[in-house]
Amino acid sequence: MISLGDPETGAPAKRDRLGLLRDHDFRDLFLSTTVAQVGYQITSLALPLAAVIALDVSEFEVGVLSSMTMFAFVLIGLPAGAWVDRMRRRRVLIVSDVVRAAVLLTVPIAWWTEVLTIWQLYAVALLIGVFTVFFDVSYQSYLPHLVGRKHLVEGNAKLETVRATAQLGGPVLAGQLIQWLTAPVAIAFDAVALGASALLLLRIRRREPKPETAHGSRVSTEIKDGLKFVFGNRILASIVSCTGTYNFWTGAFMAMIVVFLPRDMGMSPGEIGLFFALFGVGGVFGAFAVGIFTRLLGEGRVVWVSIAVTAPFILLVPAAEPGWRIWLGAALMAFVGAGGVVYNVTQVSFRQRLTPDNMLGRMNATVRFVVYGTYALGAILGGVLGQALGARTTLWIAAAGMCLAFLPVFFSPLRNMTTLPDPEHELAGAAA
């Protein structure tokens, strides 16, 4: 039997221990996210390893490759939000999945025909990034329509559980596939996963109304409205600053970790996959425990505490040596994963709850323009520092930067808040 939604919120009316998973449409979104996230874990490991192992490129070239996917958010991030607010978001999600699947298939084809180059990997990463911009902006803007605003924390927590679980099992699968089939061939599995994700999205029955656009409105004006909405709110601005700083140094860290592990630690692709899977253990715990931490610390405090307390464990990675110490660092990175998930569920739910429907695309695009744009810049810096100073020194610098990223939210009203502000109160204050 199909569970009918609430006429005002669109949220499923029936509730039990499964919660939103009882709703047919959310369940299809959940399953779509599951297969897509597993595929993403394969490509996020296979693409740089194809460059490092198959093409034997330099540290700088790895840094550039790592930046290309996120660089798309700099190129089209802001206008994408305005465009998405003019389109039905489910359709954007499906098209984005299909195009990304087709682009990824070019990598194993080029490998089989012995014409694969770093330049093709750059182009693939950039195109994947462009359609990931549209997918991500639409995805976070679509969820409030699908589940209703009062169920956003539950919806985001369940979807973060998927992402965290994929981080747990995906890298292990990715490492084994890369070891058995080579990195370029493993990417074909992500293409299949994205195709399956598109089919599941097609099954969603609840339809969005066509968005209304003011007659004669200009994209540039709508972009300015999105920027003003995000940076005109002190809490939103502090969250964007924190996430952007953290992602900047994460970009540098991730660009060099795929160089550090095989070249400095002598790890095989299978071992590298297991290394990243241990990080995912904490993410699964964080997704299940976010409600507990929120009740203990308060909605505001948990945002900065989740990063401040867990980020320092990342310092164990550049301190490691081959053998048990690198595995100790990998195991304790689980705390970093847990903190990241708690942070994401809390701040994303607040952003979605605060933002009017007709502004969701622009709000999400503005946030992603900053936080993923900084990741791209960080990845390039990681490549430059890695080329000049070596992978290990770069990891030390990046890890230290990640440890300080919580400061913008610590020095904001969030520091002592137990309950995040009521959205209507915030909007009224902004209007005044």
State pLDDT tens for residues 259-275.
999 989 999 888 888 88
Number of residues in the chain: 432
Those residues whose C-beta lies under 8 Å from the C-beta of residue 75, and which sit 6 or more positions away, are 130
Residue 158 has pLDDT above 50, yes or no: yes
Query: Over 50: is that where the pLDDT of 30 sits?
Result: yes
pLDDT of 16? 54
User: How many Å apart are CA 376 and CA 394, to the nearest integer?
Assistant: 16
Letter for the amino acid at 171? Answer: P
Range in 94-108, 138-152, 310-324 with the lowest mean pLDDT: 138-152
432 pLDDT more than 70: no
- Residue 345: strand pairing partners: none
Arithmetic mean of pLDDT over the chain: 82
Residues 259 and 61: beta-carbon distance below 8 Å: no
pLDDT band at 285 (very low <50, low <70, confident <90, very high): confident
C-alpha 129/C-alpha 110 separation (Å) is: 20
12 bridge partner residues: 5
pLDDT in tens, 187-238: 888 899 899 989 988 888 877 767 665 545 677 787 888 889 989 988 899 9
Whether the model clears a pTM of 0.85, i.e. scores above it, the answer is no
Q: What angle do CA 98, 103, 105 make, to 5 degrees?
A: 100
Q: Is the pLDDT of residue 3 over 60?
A: no
Do 131 and 96 meet the contact criterion of CB atoms below 8 Å apart? yes
Q: Beta partners for 5?
A: 12
pLDDT of residue 14: 46
Quote the CA–CA distance of 45 and 269 in Å, as a whole number.
Answer: 9
Within 10 angstroms of residue 14's Cβ, the number of other Cβ atoms is 11
- Residue 387 to residue 61: CA distance in whole angstroms: 9
For the segment 145-156, what is each residue's pLDDT rounded down to a tens digit? Answer: 777 767 777 777
| Amino acid in position 34 | T
